[in-house]
Amino acid sequence: MTVTNIKQDEFKKEVLESSGLVMVDFYAEWCGPCKMTGPIIDQLAEEIKDMRFVKVNVDENPDLSTTYSVFSIPSFVIFKDGQIISQFAGAMSKEGFLAKLNEVRK
């Protein structure tokens, strides 16, 4: 699968009303760590078939950032059937992401 960029008006349908696992990547175009993690998230989206991956630009969607307490970027929120099951922030290696994702995929 590919990573989908979504806006606030799509969030409900794409994340909250979605069944299964969805990882939301809150990022900004100007953010150095976000640029480093972007390709890793793209790889994970291709490799992990039982989870959807979406990106939300915090500059274009400030209300979502506030709603989900995104105070630093990149921030990641994992939803299962529309409910938050994990939230973490900061750049990490692919192995780090896999460890976090494997915890919620059990």
Active site residues: 31, 34
The strand pair at 51-57 and 75-80 is best described as unpaired
List the 75-80 sheet strands across, edge first: 4-5, 51-57, 21-27, 75-80, 83-89
